[in-house]
Amino acid sequence: MRIVISNILILFIVTNFAISQHHAQMPLNCQECHSCSTPTYEKPCLKILPEFTRSSITIFHSADQAPEIIKIDTLDGDYEATIFTHKLHAEMSYMSGGCKSCHHFNPPGKVLVCIECHKPQSVENDLSKPGLKGAYHRQCLNCHREWSHSSNCTVCHERKGNKEATASINDKSEFSEKSHPKIETPGKVVYKPDYDEGPVVTFFHDEHVNLFNLSCESCHQNESCARCHDTHDKSAIETEPHENCIDCHESDIDENCIKCHDTKERKPFDHANTGWPLNTYHKKLYCNECHGSTGVFKKLNKNCTSCHKNWTPGRFDHKVTGLALDETHSENDCENCHLNRNFSKKPVCTECHDDMSYPAYVPGKKVK
């Protein structure tokens, strides 16, 4: 019932917006409803439907919008305040989850400070929500321990009274204008594993990002700065070969090694190899928009109703294909020209005409 009421409310709001002006012209925060920064008609990336709940909305900002340096002095004890290079850490966090690595809950339009949820006085019987001191250290210790192989407190803050050391920690002005170097996304990575039957694995990194719609943390969620920058132990960069692939390719890893392993480099994925080359409209879509959740894609048949559930021939405007049918052909069923409803093949005229063929004969006029 709650979902029904929420959907009715949304419909009411959208209807009122449509009467006055397009909602994109209204003073709204797009990120409340859209998971991407620039939603389009083809890729709206809606995140609130069909189960709309305000509590599930979390707003994140880019690193450029983050404050450069923050002084953390909420807790008073034996140590001086910590001067935290916030923007630099925000930029580095993209590879391991982004802002939500630290800001794991935010109501719409607001980034909460830690003390909003984690209080200075910890509740010892609730381990799911540590106190403020525990929350701070939980976020910092793992990366800094891997980086320096030490959990020395004075890496971040000095004991009170040690003015010389405190001054060196407080002076973080050198980081004000610094940014983490841009991480270039590789197009293709070729691995040479120790596997005689398939010594070459061609990994198209750009496909997984741009086509399969995976985010960095989908594969790199267990990594930290030490993955690239550990100066003490180079073995830290070595991981189990299938660790990042197993979430999507578990069955292939267990039973079908040739899915990835080969004796030579492979070419990028081409949807035409499946027997269905994508047209102008479908080639713009991410794979999961047709095949379901990211990772394990389900196989589809070629009927329009596989994706367009309420599609009927009478509702289809043929001119979106670049061909506006004339009056003679506009009433025809799709199968009259597209045999067996196979839209990946050239249409035929011989079902009705003996002396005509496409594209020498066009049943209408071509449009842009």
Q: pLDDT digit string (tens) for 148-162?
A: 777 778 778 878 877
The answer to whether residue 20 scores a pLDDT higher than 50 is no
Contacts within 8 Å (CB) and 24+ apart, 42-46: 42/281, 42/284, 42/285, 43/284, 43/285, 43/286, 43/289
Q: Which pTM value belongs to this model?
A: 0.52
pLDDT band at 168 (very low <50, low <70, confident <90, very high): low
Q: How far apart are CA 330 and CA 245, in angstroms?
A: 48
Structure tokens at 265: 């480099």
Q: What is the mean pLDDT of residues 152-179?
A: 72
Give the pLDDT confidence of 75-113 residue by residue, as tens digits: 877 788 888 888 888 887 777 667 777 887 766 556 778
Q: What is the mean pLDDT of residues 69-80?
A: 82
Contacts within 8 Å (CB) and 24+ apart, 106-114: 106/58, 106/59, 106/60, 107/54, 107/57, 107/59, 108/29, 108/32, 108/54, 108/57, 108/59, 109/29, 109/32, 109/59, 110/59, 111/59, 111/60, 111/61
Where do you find CATH 3.90.10.10 in the chain?
A: 63-175
Total residues found in the chain within this entry: 368
3-class DSSP state of 292: coil
Predicted pLDDT of residue 104:
76
Q: What is the mean pLDDT of residues 354-367?
A: 88
Please identify which residue in the block is written with the tokens 């081409």: 270
pLDDT band at 190 (very low <50, low <70, confident <90, very high): very high
Q: How far apart are the first and last CA of the chain?
A: 46
Q: Nearest 5 degrees, angle CA 140-CA 142-CA 145?
A: 100
Taking the domain 63-175, which CATH number applies? 3.90.10.10
CB 95 within 8 A of CB 223: yes
How many angstroms separate the Cα of 10 from the Cα of each of 52, 53, 177, 192? Answer: 9, 11, 43, 53
Listed residue (145, 112, 115, 294) closest to 224, CA to CA? 145
Q: How far apart are CA 192 and CA 201, in angstroms?
A: 7
State the sign of the Cα–Cα–Cα–Cα dihedral 143, 144, 145, 151. negative
pLDDT band at 262 (very low <50, low <70, confident <90, very high): very high
Q: How far apart are CA 214 and CA 210, in angstroms?
A: 8
pLDDT band at 244 (very low <50, low <70, confident <90, very high): confident
